[in-house]
Amino acid sequence: MRHSFLNLLRQGLSGHRGWPQAWRNPEPRRSYEAVIVGGGGHGLATAYYLAGEHGLTDVAVLERGWIGGGNTGRNTTNVRSDYMYPESAALYDLSLRVYEGLGRELDFNIMLSQRGWLFLIHDLHQMETARHKANWMQCNGIDGVIVDSAEARRMLPALNPAADARYPVIGAFPQRRGGTIRHDAVAWGYARAADRLGVDIIQNCAVEGLVMNGGCVTAVQISRGTIGCGRMGVAAAAWTARVTAMAGFPLPMTSHILQAMVTEPVRRCLDHVVISPATGAYVNQTRKGELVIGGIMDLYQSFSQRGTYPSIEKVVAAVVEMFPAFSSLKLMRHWAGVVDITPDRSPIIGPSPVPNLHLNCGCGTGGFKAIPAGGLLLAHAVATGRQHALAEAFGLERFRLNALVDEAAASGIAH
Ligand SMILES: Cc1cc2nc3c(=O)[nH]c(=O)nc-3n(C[C@H](O)[C@H](O)[C@H](O)COP(=O)(O)OP(=O)(O)OC[C@H]3O[C@@H](n4cnc5c(N)ncnc54)[C@H](O)[C@@H]3O)c2cc1C
């Protein structure tokens, strides 16, 4: 401890130039046994589990920008596992359980804060739907209960107390193990751990084309040349469909802008992550005191990564109606990501029509919480060539077989 304090002091006085790099910056080799496209949380986790769980260390992660620069570094950091289908509950709860021990496993502080996720209920119909979901969750062995209006108000003292509030709160549906995790730390923690196991993380390296031979991918074309590969995992979120187009097949996925914003910091006033699906707004307070606000997705298709004023206005209007005191806060920053939406709002994990190319995409508005499970399951597919039992329901084939895992209602914000 004394040693690290002295080191911190030394670094502070010398301009922070002496810190060791957390991961290398290697030149790409001529070929790899496995190439992972996308250096977001899912791609980095996949590489880490390929090396750590399957002993496959001849692996490169190719990231066209900087790691975590896609949706992983743009999300609102909420984690939970309150899904309805048993298949989704198993997937997202596996993720939450891995997250609960991930800081220790990676020796990296991911700032897990299980402060509780609180789903507000504004009318009787929403109450019935919440009860339905709570019953499913109990059946799936996941924590989830309904609390009444008085308990919701006790948990959220800043809620609008007016009797004629536009969005009265008649109850809430908390998942107490839900909360937040620092998003960059997840990307950086997985990156450092994967690098230490021998994985090459190559940034500023976009995959521009695929070389196919006998129906399989044999190499990837990047701006600096060609890299041979034995097998491939694609975890490039909305851009995954562009990569699979290079391999000659489309994906049932659309790409939309999802935005978020943050206020100036204030004293602690909100203990939980709060979502109001009916109004399309959600909010949590960071440890620094800022309120992180997220909301509705823009329904038209886009790859622009820029927000739009109508969505900001709608989301902010709902938040200040529910929490009138927040109306005096200044918005400091606003940003957007491009989310990958499937017809049933569940991810696509596993094999593709190209035998040595495997997928993990389609997590849409909720894939940060799925990173550990997505990484484990894609790593399993890439390493063994087989679908993991937990991923069986999430294969691409489900759209042809009409075996959808319809979790639109679980995505928190309707879309
Ligand atoms: C505003 C916002 C709020 C959100 N809030 C939450 C939340 O609170 N909780 C939650 O669970 N989820 C949330 N999400 C969703 C979540 O962020 C994503 O589902 C998740 O981060 C997806 O991770 P990923 O690794 O699959 O994708 P990304 O992090 O997007 O990584 C994909 C990477 O692939 C790279 N790439 C693309 N094309 C290529 C190519 N050709 N070659 C090489 N690299 C390429 C991209 O540069 C990118 O870095 C939110 C998303 C947004 C935008």
pLDDT value at residue 413: 67
- Mean pLDDT across 203-226: 97
pLDDT digits (tens, 9 = 90+) for 159-207: 998 989 999 999 999 999 999 999 999 999 999 999 999 999 999 999 9
Q: Token pair of 90, please?
A: 């198993």
Q: Given this model, what pLDDT does residue 1 score?
A: 44
Q: Is the C-beta atom of 367 inside 6 A of ligand 1?
A: yes
The residues facing 233 across adjacent strands are 36, 358
User: pTM to 2 decimals?
Assistant: 0.96
Element (H, E) at 78: strand 78-79
Query: In this predicted structure, what is the pLDDT of residue 414?
Result: 64
Considering only CA atoms, which of 277, 328, 388 is closest in space to residue 53? 388
Please state the atom number of ligand 1 nearest to the C-alpha of residue 66: 49
Residues 6+ apart with CB under 8 A from 216: 354, 355, 356, 357
Query: pLDDT of 253-300, one tens digit each?
Result: 999 999 999 999 999 999 999 999 989 899 999 999 999 999 988 889
Q: Distances in Å between the alpha carbon of 328 and those of 261, 272, 280?
A: 15, 20, 21
Residue nearest to atom 53 of ligand 1 (CA): 337
Question: Per-residue pLDDT for 149 more than 80?
Answer: yes
| Residue whose CB lies within 8 A of the most ligand 1 atoms, among 35, 46, 71, for a mutation test | 71
Please report which helix (H) or strand (E) contains residue 192, including its range.
helix 183-196
CA distances from 173 to 110, 135, 145, 287 (A): 26, 12, 6, 23
CA of 72 relative to ligand 1 center, distance in Å: 4
Say how far apart CA 131 and CA 56 lie, in whole Å: 45
Q: Where in the chain is the domain with CATH 3.30.9.10?
A: 115-176+255-341
284 lines ligand 1 (CB under 6 A): no
For residue 340, report the distance from its CA to the centre of ligand 1, in Å.
8
Residue type, 285: Q
Pairing of strands 171-175, 254-263: unpaired
What are the pLDDT digits (tens) for 102-123? Answer: 999 999 999 999 999 999 999 9
Task: State what percent of residues in the chain have pLDDT above 70.
Answer: 98
Of 79, 346, 22, 321, nearest in space to 194 by CA: 22
Using the atom order of ligand 1, give the atom closest to the CA of residue 69.
49
The architecture CATH gives domain 115-176+255-341: 2-Layer Sandwich (3.30)
* Mean pLDDT score across all residues of the chain: 94
Where in the chain is CATH 3.50.50.60? 24-77+184-252+344-411
The CATH homologous superfamily for domain 24-77+184-252+344-411 is FAD/NAD(P)-binding domain (3.50.50.60)
Structure confidence at residue 101 as a pLDDT band (50, 70, 90): very high
Whether 373 lines ligand 1, by a CB cut-off of 6 Å, is no
Task: Please state the atom number of ligand 1 nearest to the C-alpha of residue 337.
Answer: 53
